[in-house]
């Protein structure tokens, strides 16, 4: 075979490549977001929807059954692929309609203002007892910062992905793939969110969070910043002399900087919004046992139920409306129905997860000493024919209540280990044992990871030292140097 000449190699060539790309509609993006956030944050999102869509209102308990039958009549074509477009002009339209049809509304049998006022009052009173969540706090700042709806939606996606410590553990590439928003755009929005209060929030790592906190305090050129930026691992391990030698500083100066500056930084910027002493937990799934039979319920406690105002639906068909007014109604009705559909889908997914759990973890729910069987999220995803990332978001920051107590949904999914007797045990069981051993250790002579591994082996559980170290870090427990107390 002859060689290609340079001229041949440099010739332009048309190359066609067929690729597949998932384009997510705004409705799909909203569905993913609603599935991910817990009930308390969902209540804040619903409150925002009530403010921006005048066709939505809170559903009273008496209307729940009737509204469920009413929604079943809606067709899929009516609610898919609709965009939200709410402007000041729309407010003018609504105001004019309210004035023109005031008498119509007053005479409507389905419109009971006293009842609606009471529903809203009850909801507001119920919300007062709940401490403001990190999402609530950041959402208020985002609404004051971002004027563009696209920017605000990207910010909400990022804020809804933060863990309880206020850090962003999900890669932007993953958020981009799931939402359809460009990764570069998310990166730009993330930079803005990272300037929000509390300092250090939305950082992608503890190191980045601490550095951000120093930057906000205008301490970027200090020794403290240099220690965290260049010797972070040594700092975590308490290797003061190594830090001093590496940075060519006096150990006393390093110790003073750690004590006076670094020790005052917040390791968990978002944790103050999730204090166990004052935070209300609303379980997303409730498992009850009745005569030996397990039943699953997805409660709606902690958030209001919504419905579309019936009087506006009737008015939308009126011949007295202009084309502009009809366009307004169609957009708002489509937006409201999309929200209701996504909320219903969220409830359905959580119920399917609950039903899968009672089928596969029956002993745990029925027996006081029942152990969790080792199942992964992938096992659940395959059985429910959903993507594993969907399951991960569905169980994130959510809880299940049963006769044995309240448990984080993530606790039901783990890696399998085999004990000496051949019995499968979950990684959660291993973590619980490690935490128990460390809790009972001599603080003057703490256990090393190797010793913990040996103690587990004595109980018939084979867990390597490296695995012990990984689980210990996930429990946010320090190593022997960090745990040691000098009396």
Boundary residue ending a domain (217, 251, 268): 268
pLDDT at residue 349, as a whole number: 92
Higher pLDDT among residues 126 and 175, named by residue = 175
Helix (H) or strand (E) holding 405: strand 405-408
Overall domain count for the chain: 2
Q: What is the mean pLDDT of residues 279-296?
A: 84
CA-closest candidate to residue 351, choices 284, 438, 290: 284
Q: What is the mean pLDDT of residues 204-228?
A: 91
| 225 pLDDT tier (thresholds 50, 70, 90) | very high
Please check whether residue 420 lies inside any domain of the structure: yes
Work out the mean pLDDT of the chain and round it to a whole number. 75
C-alpha to C-alpha distance for 346 and 31, rounded to whole angstroms: 7
Confirm whether pTM is higher than 0.75: no
Strands 293-297 and 306-308: unpaired
Residues 6+ apart with CB under 8 A from 315: 97, 101, 104, 321, 329
pLDDT at residue 414, as a whole number: 66
Helix (H) or strand (E) holding 51: helix 39-52
pLDDT at residue 417, as a whole number: 53
Helix (H) or strand (E) holding 354: helix 323-360
C-alpha to C-alpha distance for 238 and 148, rounded to whole angstroms: 46
Most confident of 19-33, 188-202, 372-386, 432-446: 188-202
C-alpha to C-alpha distance for 111 and 310, rounded to whole angstroms: 8
Please check whether residue 247 lies inside any domain of the structure: yes
> Lowest-confidence range among 5-9, 186-190, 258-262, 318-322?
5-9
| 421 pLDDT tier (thresholds 50, 70, 90) | low
Q: What is the mean pLDDT of residues 300-329?
A: 73
Boundary residue ending a domain (252, 268, 284): 268
| 47 pLDDT tier (thresholds 50, 70, 90) | confident
pLDDT at 74 over 50: no
Residues 6+ apart with CB under 8 A from 322: none
Which residue range(s) make up the domain with 440? 416-483
**pLDDT per residue as tens digits for the range 233-282:** 888 877 888 899 999 999 889 888 888 888 888 888 887 775 443 445 77
> Lowest-confidence range among 23-27, 49-53, 217-221, 256-260?
23-27
Higher pLDDT among residues 435 and 114, named by residue = 435
| 90 pLDDT tier (thresholds 50, 70, 90) | very low
CA-closest candidate to residue 151, choices 111, 106, 188: 188
Please check whether residue 99 lies inside any domain of the structure: no
Residues 6+ apart with CB under 8 A from 485: 443, 444
Residues 6+ apart with CB under 8 A from 41: 133, 135, 136, 160
Higher pLDDT among residues 195 and 131, named by residue = 195
pLDDT at 151 over 80: yes
Please check whether residue 342 lies inside any domain of the structure: no
pLDDT at residue 120, as a whole number: 46
Please check whether residue 464 lies inside any domain of the structure: yes
> Lowest-confidence range among 75-84, 347-356, 389-398, 455-464?
75-84
pLDDT at 160 over 80: yes
**pLDDT per residue as tens digits for the range 410-420:** 888 865 555 55
Give the DSSP letter of residue 397. Answer: T
Q: Return the CATH number at 446.
A: 1.10.10.60
pLDDT at 443 over 50: yes
C-alpha to C-alpha distance for 465 and 448, rounded to whole angstroms: 9
197: burial class by Cβ within 10 Å (0-12, 13-18, 19+)?
Answer: exposed
Higher pLDDT among residues 369 and 318, named by residue = 369
Helix (H) or strand (E) holding 84: none
CB 461 within 8 A of CB 417: yes
Please check whether residue 47 lies inside any domain of the structure: no
% of residues, the chain, pLDDT over 70: 72
pLDDT at 7 over 90: no
pLDDT at 41 over 90: no
Boundary residue ending a domain (268, 295, 319): 268
Task: Give per-residue burial for 91-128: e unless 16+ CB within 10 Å, then b.
Answer: eebbeebeeebeeebeeeeebeeeeeeebeeebeeebe
Please check whether residue 150 lies inside any domain of the structure: no
> Lowest-confidence range among 63-72, 348-357, 444-453?
63-72
Please check whether residue 214 lies inside any domain of the structure: yes
């Amino acid at each position: 075979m002859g060689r290609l000449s340079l001229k041949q190699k440099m010739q332009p060539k048309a190359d066609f490549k067929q690729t597949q790309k998932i384009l997510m509609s705004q409705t799909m993006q909203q569905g993913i977001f609603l599935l991910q956030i817990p009930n308390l944050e969902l209540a804040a999102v619903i409150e925002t929807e009530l403010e921006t869509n005048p066709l939505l209102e809170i559903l009273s308990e008496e209307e729940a059954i009737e509204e469920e039958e009413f929604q079943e009549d809606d067709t899929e074509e009516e609610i898919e692929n609709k965009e939200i477009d709410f402007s000041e002009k729309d407010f003018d339209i609504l105001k004019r309609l309210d004035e023109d049809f005031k008498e119509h509304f007053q005479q409507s049998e389905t419109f009971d203002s006293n009842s609606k006022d009471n529903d809203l009052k009850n909801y507001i009173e119920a919300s007062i007892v709940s401490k403001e969540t990190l999402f609530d706090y950041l959402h208020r700042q985002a609404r004051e910062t971002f004027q563009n709806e696209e920017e605000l939606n990207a910010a909400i996606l990022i804020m809804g992905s933060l863990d309880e410590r206020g850090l962003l553990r999900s890669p932007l590439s993953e958020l981009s793939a799931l939402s359809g928003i460009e990764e570069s755009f998310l990166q730009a929005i993330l930079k803005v969110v990272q300037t929000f209060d509390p300092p250090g929030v939305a950082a992608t790592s503890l190191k980045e969070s601490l550095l951000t906190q120093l930057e906000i305090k205008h301490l970027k050129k200090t020794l403290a910043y240099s220690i965290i930026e260049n010797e972070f691992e040594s700092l975590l391990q308490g290797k003061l002399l190594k830090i001093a030698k590496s940075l060519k500083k006096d150990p006393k100066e390093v110790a003073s900087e750690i004590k006076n500056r670094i020790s005052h930084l917040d390791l968990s910027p978002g944790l103050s919004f999730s204090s166990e002493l004052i935070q209300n937990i609303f379980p997303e799934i409730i498992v009850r046992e009745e005569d030996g039979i397990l039943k699953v319920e997805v409660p709606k406690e902690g958030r209001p139920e919504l419905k579309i105002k019936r009087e506006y639906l009737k008015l939308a068909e009126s011949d007295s409306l202009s084309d502009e007014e009809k366009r307004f109604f169609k957009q708002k009705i489509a937006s409201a129905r999309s929200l209701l559909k996504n909320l219903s889908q969220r409830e359905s997914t959580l119920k399917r997860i609950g039903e899968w759990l009672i089928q596969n973890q029956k002993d745990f729910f029925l027996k006081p000493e029942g152990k969790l069987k080792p199942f992964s999220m992938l096992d659940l995803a395959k059985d429910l024919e959903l993507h594993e990332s969907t399951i991960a978001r569905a169980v994130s920051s959510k809880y299940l209540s049963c006769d044995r107590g309240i448990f984080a949904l993530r606790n039901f999914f783990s890696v399998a280990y085999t004990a000496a007797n051949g019995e499968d045990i979950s990684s959660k069981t291993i973590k619980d044992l490690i935490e128990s051993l460390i809790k009972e250790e001599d603080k003057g002579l703490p256990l090393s990871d190797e010793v913990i591994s040996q103690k587990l082996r004595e109980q018939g559980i084979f867990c390597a030292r490296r695995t012990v170290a990984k689980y210990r870090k996930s429990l946010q427990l320090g190593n022997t140097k960090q745990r040691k107390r000098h009396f």
